[in-house]
Chains A and B, each alone.
Chain A
Amino acid sequence: MSTIEPLETKATAAAGLSVADQADVGRFWRDLRASVGSAVVGGEPALRLLAVAMLADGHALIEDVPGVGKTLLARAFARSLGLSFNRVQGTPDLLPTDVTGSSILEAGRLRFVPGPVFANVLLVDEINRATPRTQSALLEAMQERQVSIEGETRPLPAPFLVVATQNPVELEGTFSLPEAQLDRFLVRVTMGYPEREDERLIAHRYRGGTEPLERIEPIVDRDTLLALQRTASEIVVSEAVEGYMVDLVRATRQHADLRLGASPRTSVAIFRSSQAWAALAGRGFVLPDDVAAVVHPVMGHRLLLDVDRQLRGATIERVLTEVLGSVPVPVPVPVPKPER
């Protein structure tokens, strides 16, 4: 436990954000952690990133090997938020209309049947198994937060979060998401294999035939969630920290191992994610540490390695670690206040 945190919570009001608001987000995170933790063992880092995606009004891509609990985490998360939830399984025969919805002829009239995308939380399992056309339709909906069907534009509900899962060990019959479209996702989450003790607990959870998800009750309602999103968007970001974010993004454009560095859209993503990260920590302002914490999940899938460098062992993780280690953290000298 850092010695800094007690002082932060005792701080006087930061600009435009009350202590109560900070406490709400902090409490939300604690409750969410407890709720999801009752069903999912050891997934706290991934859960935190899902919460960041929700608070920052973005989407999340969970990429990991089969069997580590990607779907379980997404479902537990959605259930804890008490929002409408739909699930779509990515298959090669999934049509765009299977996702967005279509009109059917009923009693001589066309009736629109909304697709699963019309939910607050949409879980798309194995998105890389869907065809490119279906992927495009989904990604477009994620970006626009609306769908256009037969000339009519229909807005998607708010909040709207898409959690997609993808298997990085891509076997035959898959269509990997184009790198250029990956930045539709605010964060890319990996879960990794659990620790030994956690794995034992996982097996224990299924004792007695009970489904872990059944224990989860919603901890928040839709209006509260929207308020939390507003709170997160008002988290203070000083000029020094803003400059730090921009410096990090710009540093990727000069890195020799990258064919394509991060775009200005990434700066926005870092900005929003850092705010959400700080809010979850119960703080009313963003620290450089918050920025550093979100760099890997936010930037990792937006960079393209140079193939020749990749053949020489370069990896995105190493590049980002080098960038974090080389860009100076701003510690500006305070301007002395004039004597009253």
Chain B
Amino acid sequence: MTRAGLAFGVALVVAGVGLAAPGLVLIGLLDLFAVGVTELWSRFGLRDLHYERKIGRERAVWGDEVPLDIAVWNDKPLPIAWLSIDDYATQGAVVREEPLVRGERPGFTILRSRWTVGWYERVVRHLTIVADHRGVYSFGPVRVTVADLFGHGAATREHQDRGPYVVRPRSLPVRLASRQHAPAGYLRARQSLFEAPALFAGVRPYQAGDPMRRVHWRATARTGVTVSKRFDPSRALEVLVALDVQTLPGPHWTLQFDEELVEGLMVAAASLARHALAEGASCGLAAAAFNRTLDRFAIVPPRAGRDQLASIADMLARLSETPSAPFERLLARLPQTISAGTTVLVLTARDPEPYIAALARLDRSGYHVQLVALGPAADSVVARARAVGLTATIGSLTPDWRTSDALVLAS
């Protein structure tokens, strides 16, 4: 285009002089001027031009606003009259000040910003990312285009500069309607799997239901009061939150879901994990959902420690809204992943009929299974679970998962 313009301009000037047509000379000279300007920006515009993107933090919780600073530095005497920067962002990212436009690449939107930058000038724009949807997002790559103010001489460069950020679901305090409805940690296991028989730790008053072999006969004879042996736990309490992602009935591959229920389940799962870890238990997460890995099942093994809640929250951020496999298959796989005696907190919002048998099997195998039901069908879900002898509780986020201040567990 530049060469054609140059040739055109020169031809006009020569023709104008030769044919004594001053207008041709004028037009030719102006055309050469335009070509010169075009060439200047297309050749030098991108030199010493730096773009920097800084995301305030890589982790956010739903509802947060994360600062996003984008800066351009023109480190040369040539001003940039028109600079366009297309910063590709994964679909779903929201920037409050700049609506993201649809990109030509599937799955990406574009944060398009236009600038004028003077010579040796650095311009910083302060934007705000609104974390209004759970997920894993990233910015980048970046396409930088400079041109003169008349739209000519465009030069483009693309560079891979990625900036990820993760929006985790909210986690709320767990409020118990009564102690009876406490998630694992308070309810005694039907079998004393938490206590190591070799670690005798003293005696305690006999409680109804203690097996006869636990009675300390000598101490009973000596004191005249029936006492039972007490043992130290062989390990800390372990809890696994098993999240049933499917919210609508039917085969799991139909890819339909109730968004409100799904997000409510995510918030409930994060809240239960936070509660368990705060109580000193080791806690993990399992879900039959897509999680940006090749594994059909998303599993975070139960652990204690400072970073465990963050690991669980990151996994919840990555989970898809639709299941990747039938929930009963995940339940069948759990014994390979967790140790005997682990408390399995099943979180669901649909009728448990398809997997109730798997739950019962798990319960009989020595895992303490407790079901927490959310959503409008919670009552029937709890009734169905109790009918087969499982412990079940209703969980509620009132008025909804966005504005609730606690996960309430009640019968």
Question: What residues make up the interface of A, taking CB atoms closer than 8 Å to B?
Answer: 92-93, 131, 133, 168, 170-176, 305, 307-308, 310-313
Contact = CB atoms under 8 A, between A and B. Distances in A.
B286 to A, nearest CB: 15
A175 B236 contact: yes
A175 B235 contact: yes
Nearest to B198: A93
A170 B234 contact: no
Contact of A305 (B57, B199, B235, B306): B306
Given A92-B196, A172-B235, A172-B238, A313 B59 contact: yes
A170 B64 CA distance: 31
B367 to A, nearest CB: 14
Contacts of A172: 235, 238, 282, 301-303, 339
Interface in B270-314: 274, 278, 282, 301-306, 309-310, 313
B201 A311 contact: no
Given A311-B313, A312-B61, A312-B64, 6 more contacts: A172-B235, A174-B304, A308-B171, A310-B309, A311-B168, A311-B171
B35 interface: no
B60 interface: yes
B52 interface: no
Interface residues of B, number: 31
A131 B232 contact: yes
A53 B320 CA distance: 49
A93 B233 CA distance: 10
A310 B282 CA distance: 18
A132 to B, nearest CB: 8
A307 B171 CA distance: 9
Q: Is the interface of A mostly helix, strand, loop or mixed?
A: loop
B58 interface: yes
Nearest to A133: B232
Contacts of B302: 172
B52 to A, nearest CB: 20
A312 B171 CA distance: 11
A170 B304 contact: yes
B58 A313 contact: yes
B113 to A, nearest CB: 25
Contact of B274 (A133, A170, A173, A307): A307
B305 A176 contact: yes
Contacts of B232: 131, 133
Contact of B304 (A92, A176, A305, A308): A176
Contacts of B58: 313
Contacts of A311: 59, 61, 168, 171, 309-310, 313
Contacts of A131: 199, 232-233
A173 B303 contact: no
Interface string B322-361: 0000000000000000010000000000000000000000
Interface string B55-72: 001111100100000000
B201 A133 contact: yes
Nearest to A129: B235
11 contacts: A131-B199, A133-B201, A133-B232, A168-B305, A172-B235, A172-B238, A172-B302, A173-B234, A174-B236, A174-B304, A311-B310
B303 A313 contact: no
B272 to A, nearest CB: 14
B199 A310 contact: no
A173 B235 CA distance: 5
The residue in A93, A131, A313 that gathers the most chain B C-beta atoms within 10 A of its C-beta is: A313
Given A93-B198, A131-B199, A311-B61, A174 B235 contact: yes
A312 B60 contact: yes
The residue in B234, B302, B306 that gathers the most chain A C-beta atoms within 10 A of its C-beta is: B306
The residue in A131, A310, A311 that gathers the most chain B C-beta atoms within 10 A of its C-beta is: A311
A310 B201 contact: no
Interface string B141-183: 0000000000000000000000000001001000000000000
